[in-house]
Structure 1
């Protein structure tokens, strides 16, 4: 097997490990071990951040095109970004009763439509509409434990934001402000790991930092829409 094809297939296999981490997360959730569940989701999140650049570097469409890497990635993303976090939100009792039913069913239904929308990507490799990163939202809920009304309001607003022309960055692929956005995403992953290792009992300053970093990642794309980009200087 030629080296290029072996590399390309290896990238597909790396992406597919997300299915393994998803299964481990579901098993942990079934056992109500929410910290372990989120530990696997954070690992899956990290893999999702590196497999795309590797796929482009090793040109998987050319050397292993029989496997649709985009479809594979979407399947795993729906599990890790949407389905498992929504299940955990309800099953943990964090969002109880009818609040929980409304919240998780809305997340699952709206996200399935969004993930099938061919217009989700923008020209600068960002997302048009909130990209269904419910794993990040629900982790903040676990760490901060806001009131049910607050959580349902945020879920409703973010669901609406999925289908309006607001920009949300991809920390790796969106070039504008990437020197700041990429480290911020790294800080978020470290804080998420810290939260899982402390059973979502972050100290006050770390909890505030998690909220601030999450807000940055949530709103920086909208800020880019508002703030015009400087045109490159001409000689």
Structure 2
């Protein structure tokens, strides 16, 4: 029992993400986009913490009646995909038919990706863009960019979910993990700052958001390229 209680508590902690998704959706329903994103960021923090807690308290052994991975995926789909897709259209970021198309593409491709049994690589990174549309749409809110560019980003990332491109897990991917964790913490901090400023960020906040987002988006692909480049360099000597 002494092991079961903390293990089950971890499942309950993960489940709080569903409550955070609900209040985020309620905020979105009143067009309070700042509060929506603050709740989604809180859910992101929960998602970043529950995995290490699950491994620490060995939930698979001591509370196996509940599938923590399935629970996590259900909540992640709501907070990473469904609510951001709703916000993308309903906020007016992409109004009209482009918004409908983008929101449908995000929801449909995200659902397929989250059901893909091959989403994790050997080094605990993700194979394909991991459907983190909450992070993408937040950047759309914070950084003024042309609508065609937003549509292009949505299209490229939607396709990237189905190609063997590597995207890091900031907590579980070991290579560059200290730097990746620092970048993730910085991204979350800047995002809270932007949310509390009602998406009227300073130029500094926009620059930091672009830098941290770019690192988290592209460092995994760079990891794929680097060993190949290093190997070719050694063979050419």
SS at match of 1:120: coil
Match of 2:114 in 1: 115
Match of 1:86 in 2: 85
For these two proteins, the number of residue pairs brought into alignment is: 230
1:56-205 paired onto structure 2 within 5 Å: 56-205=55-204
- In the alignment, the residues of structure 2 paired with residue 201 and residue 175 of structure 1 have an alpha-carbon distance, to the nearest angstrom, of 35
- In the alignment, the residues of structure 1 paired with residue 174 and residue 130 of structure 2 have an alpha-carbon distance, to the nearest angstrom, of 17
Q: Give the conservation status (yes or no) of the 8 Å contact 1:82–1:132.
A: yes
Match of 2:48 in 1: 49
Q: Give the conservation status (yes or no) of the 8 Å contact 1:94–1:145.
A: no
SS at match of 2:131: coil
- In the alignment, the residues of structure 2 paired with residue 213 and residue 95 of structure 1 have an alpha-carbon distance, to the nearest angstrom, of 24
SS at match of 1:171: coil
- In the alignment, the residues of structure 1 paired with residue 144 and residue 21 of structure 2 have an alpha-carbon distance, to the nearest angstrom, of 24
Cα-Cα RMSD: 1.2
1:7 aligns with 2:3: no
- In the alignment, the residues of structure 2 paired with residue 215 and residue 26 of structure 1 have an alpha-carbon distance, to the nearest angstrom, of 27
Listed one character per residue, the Cα deviations across residues 154-207 of structure 1 (whole Å, up to 9, x for unaligned) are: 000001110001000000000000010001000000011001000111111210
With structure 1 as the length reference, what TM-score do the two structures score?
0.96
- In the alignment, the residues of structure 1 paired with residue 178 and residue 67 of structure 2 have an alpha-carbon distance, to the nearest angstrom, of 30
SS at match of 1:106: helix
- In the alignment, the residues of structure 2 paired with residue 71 and residue 54 of structure 1 have an alpha-carbon distance, to the nearest angstrom, of 16
- In the alignment, the residues of structure 1 paired with residue 44 and residue 10 of structure 2 have an alpha-carbon distance, to the nearest angstrom, of 15
Which blocks of at least 5 consecutive residues in structure 1 are unaligned?
none
SS at match of 1:227: helix
- In the alignment, the residues of structure 2 paired with residue 82 and residue 7 of structure 1 have an alpha-carbon distance, to the nearest angstrom, of 30
Match of 1:16 in 2: 15
Match of 1:206 in 2: 205
Match of 2:31 in 1: 32
SS at match of 1:228: helix
- In the alignment, the residues of structure 2 paired with residue 31 and residue 3 of structure 1 have an alpha-carbon distance, to the nearest angstrom, of 44
What's the offset of the Cα at 1:145?
2.5
- In the alignment, the residues of structure 1 paired with residue 159 and residue 33 of structure 2 have an alpha-carbon distance, to the nearest angstrom, of 28
What's the offset of the Cα at 1:146?
1.3
- In the alignment, the residues of structure 2 paired with residue 3 and residue 48 of structure 1 have an alpha-carbon distance, to the nearest angstrom, of 24
- In the alignment, the residues of structure 1 paired with residue 223 and residue 3 of structure 2 have an alpha-carbon distance, to the nearest angstrom, of 37
SS at match of 2:93: coil
